[in-house]
Amino acid sequence: MNEVKKFLFVNRKAPYGTIYALESLEVVLITAAFDQDVSLAFLDDGVYQLKKGQQTKGIETKNFSPTYRALDGYDVEKLYVEKESLDARGLTEEDLLVDVTVLGSREMGALMDEQDVVLSF
Amino acid sequence: MLHIINKSPLGNNSLDACLRVAASGDILLIEDAVYAATKGNAMEGKVREAMSRLKIHILLPDLEARGLADRIIEGVAKVDYGGFVDLVAANKNCQSWL
């Protein structure tokens, strides 16, 4: 039971339009509390979750983007973003509100391969 | 007529389908559809092309929430919630592309 497993959270949805991004974040924090080896992957519209400058006052919804910056306080420090997804959205690493590792598609695939558990949002 | 889109253009084909069939009128991009009106998005070319025959509007609070209000394609009209209501009232009918 005390065996540490490698967990990967795969985030492919934009924030706010659906509840997936926020729910993923909740489960990430729970998993981290159990001292597991946690990584987060952002691809497709999931890269929008990390966009700087989110201002949600106008839609009267909680802006949860600052939480990504707090993840290192929970020892969640491995954030991976797919380069092809950034490119298709006109985004660069400088547009993101946290430090990430940018991976090509095949490297992202290899990261998924090496996990014990993959949770998809 | 007014076409309302609320899905990201890269995760769903609602906007593509709308642009395929709509010859004229207004399109309002709300929620995750606002990404379509941002520079550098893979849909930018199609959106610019559509602007010659359709008037494209975006709901600004949704773009602000997503941190992209400074990246809107020139010529796309920004509306607030009151402007949303005005668009609905000004058109004889509307379709939400779910």
Q: What domains, with CATH codes, occur in chain B? A: 2-96 (3.40.1260.10)
Q: Which residues of A touch B80 (CB under 8 A)?
A: 58
Mind listing the pLDDT tens digit for each residue in B39-88? 999 999 999 999 999 999 999 999 999 999 999 999 999 999 999 999 99
What mean pLDDT comes out for the span A53-82? 97
User: What's the confidence (pLDDT) of residue A1?
Assistant: 56
What mean pLDDT comes out for the span A30-39? 93
* CB of A44 less than 8 A from some CB of B: yes
For chain A, the domains span 6-120
Handedness of CA A38, A44, A45, A47 (dihedral sign): positive
Q: Across chain A, what does the average pLDDT equal?
A: 96
User: What's the confidence (pLDDT) of residue A3?
Assistant: 86
Q: Which residues of A touch B11 (CB under 8 A)?
A: 12-14, 44-45
The Cα A30–Cα A45 span in angstroms is: 24
CB pairs under 8 A between A and B: 77
Q: Which CATH architecture has domain A6-120?
A: 3-Layer(aba) Sandwich (3.40)
Long-range contacts of A26-33 (CB under 8 A, 24+ apart): A27/A119, A27/A121, A28/A71, A28/A76, A29/A74, A29/A76, A31/A7, A32/A71, A32/A74, A32/A75, A32/A76, A33/A74
Q: Which residues of B touch A52 (CB under 8 A)?
A: 67
Choose the closest CB to B40 out of A51, A58, A89. A89
Whether pLDDT at A8 is above 60: yes
Mind listing the pLDDT tens digit for each residue in A91-100? 999 999 999 9
Of residues A1 and A117, which shows the higher confidence score?
Answer: A117
